[in-house]
Amino acid sequence: MAENFRHGVPEDLSGWMLKRNRVMPTKKKRYFKLAAQVLSSHVKDTSQASWEQSVLGADVSGSSRRMRITVTCPDRSVRVFLTRRDDYEAWLDALQKASSRRIEEHYELGSLLGEGAFARVVMGLDRTTLQQYAVKVIEKQSDDAQGLEFIWRELNVMKAVNHPNIVRTYDIFDTRTRLYIVLEYMPGGTLADLLKHTGRFTEAQARPVLRDILRGVAYLHSKSVVHRDLKLKNILCDRRELPVSVKLAGWPTLSVSAPSLVSYSSRRLAVPITFPRRSCARRCTGRPWTCGPVASSCTSS
């Protein structure tokens, strides 16, 4: 839900509009899609885009009387017409927001915190409050439609998640080439880092840690979501010394609408079966199993 985000969510709007013909003084009907800062035109609602245009930095103006919207970019000018007043107002508002929605306006991006195969995490400083955040930067691959679809499915889950034992997502900024996810900053690093620093935990020290993990897992299950990569490196700490509070992070997720088979990336901690697509409750039965190996890793030398 958008109210979970500090600066709203990327724009997502689609519908039919009239576009002026370049040659003849007539208008043709086209299906337009606005996904974050990218506006695209389609002959049909199911067809590939005839063209795509980033509206970031564009000049967007409207004529209320004629219900006309003009989007002026450096390399393209688009003029469209609506037939319904509420559609005109919705499109004008969405395009104006999309044209000015830059992460740099709200956050100063700083030093590298971590890096993986497909993304890096940098420090983000709120320009108004000076509060620190962790910003995950994902480089988009234009030829990886399936990967982008998975990312957006994960983001749709993030919008609805808000729990003390889940690393919170505060903002999402989308551009043509990158996706920025503003996350809660956990200064204690990962549970794996803490174990290297302190050595194995006693049972008394491990008990509240495991309790936090189980609470986070139970909350995800209540939302029909499965954490598919529960391991020490995806559990973050609020400080570098015991006692600590921990939160789940780095979670490739699976909701009830996800693919029919679940593949777990951390084989050592994975449930030793692959669940066929049935109910989410059936999928969720395996996740508490992985909490056992996590607890064992905390208490074993």
DSSP assigned state of 4? G
Cα–Cα distances (Å) from 91 to 27, 32, 43, 48, 62, in that order, read 18, 10, 19, 21, 10
SS3 192: helix
Residue 245: what residue type? S
- Residue showing tokens 């992460």: 103
Question: Which of 87, 193, 229, 238 is an active site residue?
Answer: 229
Cα atoms found within 13 Å of the Cα of residue 94, Cβ hemisphere only: 21
Give the integer Cα–Cα distance in Å for 260 and 294. Answer: 27
DSSP annotation of 105 reads G
Asked if residue 97 belongs to a known ligand binding site, the reply is no
Structure tokens at 74: 């450096």
The rounded distance, in Å, linking the Cα atoms of 227 and 225 is: 7
E strands within the chain? 12-20, 27-35, 38-42, 51-54, 59-63, 68-72, 77-81, 107-115, 119-126, 132-139, 169-174, 178-184, 226-227, 235-237, 246-248, 253-254
Is residue 229 flagged as an active site residue? yes
CA atoms lying within 13 Å on the CB side of residue 93: 8
Burial environment of residue 268 by CB neighbours within 10 A (0 to 12, 13 to 18, 19 or more): exposed
Binding residues for ATP: 136
Which residues are tagged catalytic? Answer: 229
Binding residues: 136
